[in-house]
Amino acid sequence: MSTRPVLVLDDRATRSRPRRWHSWLLDLVLVLIGVVMVAPLVWLVVTSLTRADAAFQVPPQWLPKPFSAQAYTQVQGLIPFAQMALNSFQVAVAATVGSLFFSVLAAYGFSRFDFRGSKVLFVGMLSSLMVPVQLTIIPVFVMMRHLGLVDDIAALWLPALINVFQIFFLRQYFSSVPRELDEAARMDGANHLWILFRIIVPLSGPALSAMAILSFEASWNNYFAPLVFLNTPSHMTLPLGLVTLQSAQGGPAVVVFAAITMVVVPVLVVFLLFQRAFVSSIAASGLK
């Protein structure tokens, strides 16, 4: 009985191989780009924690000297910040959860049903992405006025329930799930809703997490729609409240920086918690 020689690759030699100079150069460039991107955020937080008379110095300070958190306490006195934050949170959560629910249903239909006119309907839906929101805001406003929802936060999250980009992204992701899983479940008597919520959705966690991040961030930072629909300060969201704080209320710059910090931090925390899922969803959708 003859045996063939087996070639064993030892990766220790590969690991011990010195890195080339262009790898170090690439790392240095990435570090510099990261510093440039993070520096404005760090300066924002540091300035908000610095006393007003020493906040804006040249060159800028990267440590809060002298330290003062008074700006954060002044925000609530100038605008109803807590109520605005609650309004923004309600709008962001309602828009995120609602849009994901309807997008999952629509994406499953486009990825699993080949009905007559499905491709034409899908292309027509995608073409709506090329229409600026400034062109559609007038019919949406007329619709909300007839529903009696002007100056109500419901006018912000109701139109956001249909998200064409989410439907497109999830449809591409659902198409990468093998159809053999559907056939196996259907042989056991499962219907489409069971297959969707017990097989497809659990396998699409990274994609759903990525869409949740984008939807929450878009709703949280939305300024144009609240500017059109909301008038009462107690109904306003945070982006509109920041403009009110800076212009109408005449708040000091340090106080404005403190308010901006409190607006940015929640979105940053959400992204840091789900960044792995976001990256893996982009990679998985590109593999197909």
CA distances from 217 to 43, 62, 64, 89, 142 (A): 22, 27, 28, 11, 26
Q: Which of 268, 269, 256 is nearest to 52 (CA)?
A: 256
The per-residue pLDDT for range 239-268, each reduced to its tens digit, is 888 888 877 555 677 888 888 888 888 788
Rounded CA-CA distance 225/234 in Å is 16
Sequence length of the chain is 288
On the question of pLDDT at 13 being above 50, the answer is no
How many other CB atoms are there within 10 angstroms of residue 96's CB atom? 25
On the question of pLDDT at 279 being above 80, the answer is no
For residue 62, give every residue at least 6 positions away whose Cβ sits within 8 Å of its Cβ, in sequence order, or none. 42, 43, 46
- pLDDT at site 287: 45
% of the chain beyond a pLDDT of 90: 26
Partners of 67 in beta bridges: 50
Average of per-residue pLDDT values in the chain: 83
**Contact between residue 267 and residue 220 where contact means Cβ atoms under 8 Å apart:** yes
* Long-range contact pairs involving 146-150 (C-beta distance under 8 Å, separation at least 24): 149/229, 150/229
**Strongest mean pLDDT among 91-100, 205-214, 269-278:** 91-100
CATH number, domain 80-250+259-287, options 1.10.3720.10, 1.50.10.20, 1.10.275.10, 3.30.360.10: 1.10.3720.10
Angle at 27 between CA 10 and CA 60, to 5 degrees: 155
Partners of 50 in beta bridges: 67
Rounded CA-CA distance 204/104 in Å is 10
Cis peptide before 64 (omega within 30 of 0): no
CA distances from 34 to 42, 45, 123, 198, 274 (A): 12, 17, 38, 40, 19
Sketch the domain layout of the chain as residue ranges: 17-68, 80-250+259-287
Kindly indicate the confidence band of residue 286, based on its pLDDT and cuts at 50, 70 and 90: very low
**Contact between residue 92 and residue 221 where contact means Cβ atoms under 8 Å apart:** no
The per-residue pLDDT for range 26-79, each reduced to its tens digit, is 888 989 998 888 888 888 888 888 887 777 777 777 778 778 788 888 887 888
